Structure 1
């Protein structure tokens, strides 16, 4: 066992972090306990899946890496902590964000309520891409259901496809090659999605298998993603926000975002123009508006 505290440069909005983790957790691959403030999953680092347990604290994330035969060396532990730092936006520039958004008639009041709200991303770019495709035009709950079915189906098809089990029984998200090469109709039926959607899932898997990386130049990455069947601007901007960490990413057509803005008298046709005042931090504006749209208990 190796425990390390990854400190944040600012206080953390622990309730918002745990809410986001729970809302996006893939059944079978992640476990989140909002009451205990904990989460666990298998985290792929340099081709090895490490069981990682996290505790969300007011000033950082406690990382517990399970002892295994291939227990991470110090370099791997450093890599895991670096992923966690980016995953939870621990170096967010809140002072600059506040300077840009604080006087805005909409965002100013939201920042006053939740000044430390950050962008909780996903530590596994391929997983995020597939889950996002499965979440197109459906609720978050439906996206989690589809994602859980995918993980279950792939793990049953080939134990090697999903990687190792964690000590707690969780499994790793399937590899791109495994999803790309799975029988299309079998996988479509197992997940319960349309033929068009499974074609997009396997096209995205094929692109990652061929070397697509979120570390690529952002505009080229956007173009590469848009060239795939079934990938449009909303998907690309959502991935930019939660995947390749663009602080100005803005999914202008997002329905939850638009619903939140209606509360402030902004019509759908005005969203993009109003958001120009939030540059270069439109991603943070989006997260604040998503948070505003949540029910009070979320």
Structure 2
């Protein structure tokens, strides 16, 4: 069993990290243990997929992996650092938001919130579509079915996220019937898989489509495109003005008002979203009719 401690650039907020990973965890994709501040999932390296256990502390993350050599650990460290935003210096964001009447108090209360992304761009896109118009719990259920039907076996009893080609090969009808999706949702996910496959996607982080290309896909609206720009691309200056949870934290202002307000938060608008989401979770139970703020009426 090999282990390495990944010191972060500035402290972490382990509770926030665990909550972010937990609300998006999918059965068989990862093992989430919030009481222990521990999260396990498969990460691909050149020598093959590895089951990686992560333990969170204020100073950083302890990475543990069986059957890995120094080269594997180097690759795993690079992947985890990018995924969890460990190398970002948050001081610029903190200074920028400090005088802001909305974000200043939030950052003062929780200054070390980071922008957690995705290890796999297709995972980001597919799970976002699976979570459209349903509760977070239902989205995780759909995700588990998707993993079972299209994923492959990985180490540690976990599964590897499906490739776009695996989805395309079985057709849209199989996708709809196997997962239990509506015809529209299955069609959107199938189109997404086709585009990823056509672009030669290889399981890396990042989305191989820009915002106009995303919006051109039937069933992908502004919320999905903005959310994927933020978390799928790990863009520090994206914003999701249509997000219900963020707008609730902003006294239920309109989408247009939220976009206008956020213009003053550049170039850290993604971190503004993170703090707005976190403030909602501190103030009460997250809305049950949204998937991390996605309006149930958005196509």
TM-score (norm 2): 0.88
Mapped pair 1:145 → 2:141: yes
Q: Which residue of 2 aligns with 1:7?
A: 7
5+ residue gaps, structure 2, are 286-299
Q: Which residue of 2 aligns with 1:247?
A: 236
Mapped pair 1:99 → 2:112: no
CA distance, structure 2, for counterparts of residue 212 and residue 140 of structure 1: 30
Q: Which segment is superposed worse, 254-263 or 110-119?
A: 254-263
CA distance, structure 2, for counterparts of residue 77 and residue 247 of structure 1: 27
Q: Out of 195, 213, 218, which is 1:207 matched to?
A: 195
- Displacement of 1:107: 0.3
RMSD in angstroms over aligned alpha carbons? 2.1
Tell whether the 8 Å contact from 1:111 to 1:288 is kept in structure 2 after alignment: yes
Q: Which residue of 2 aligns with 1:81?
A: 77
What is the DSSP-based 3-state SS (H/G/I as helix, E as strand, rest coil) of the residue aligned with 1:97?
helix
Deviations 1:41-78 (A, max 9, x none): 111234832111111111111111222xxx4x533321
Alignment of structure 1 residues 136-215 onto 2, 5 Å: 136-154=132-150, 162-167=151-156, 169-211=157-199
Mapped pair 1:59 → 2:59: yes
Q: Out of 265, 278, 292, which is 1:291 matched to?
A: 278
5+ residue gaps, structure 1, are 155-161
- Displacement of 1:247: 0.5
TM-score (norm 1): 0.88
- Displacement of 1:215: 7.0
Evaluate the alpha carbon distance shift between residue 236 and residue 247 of structure 1 in structure 2; reply closer, same or farther with a 3 A threshold: same
- Displacement of 1:243: 1.7
Tell whether the 8 Å contact from 1:44 to 1:124 is kept in structure 2 after alignment: no
What is the DSSP-based 3-state SS (H/G/I as helix, E as strand, rest coil) of the residue aligned with 2:27?
coil
CA distance, structure 1, for counterparts of residue 45 and residue 219 of structure 2: 29
CA distance, structure 1, for counterparts of residue 89 and residue 71 of structure 2: 27
Mapped pair 1:120 → 2:113: no
Across the two proteins, how many residue pairs are aligned to each other?
A: 283
CA distance, structure 2, for counterparts of residue 255 and residue 212 of structure 1: 34
Deviations 1:213-238 (A, max 9, x none): 577799x6223322322222211211
Q: Out of 265, 269, 272, which is 2:259 matched to?
A: 272
Deviations 1:81-140 (A, max 9, x none): 111001111122211001211111100010011110111112122111100111122222
- Displacement of 1:18: 0.4
What is the DSSP-based 3-state SS (H/G/I as helix, E as strand, rest coil) of the residue aligned with 1:290?
helix
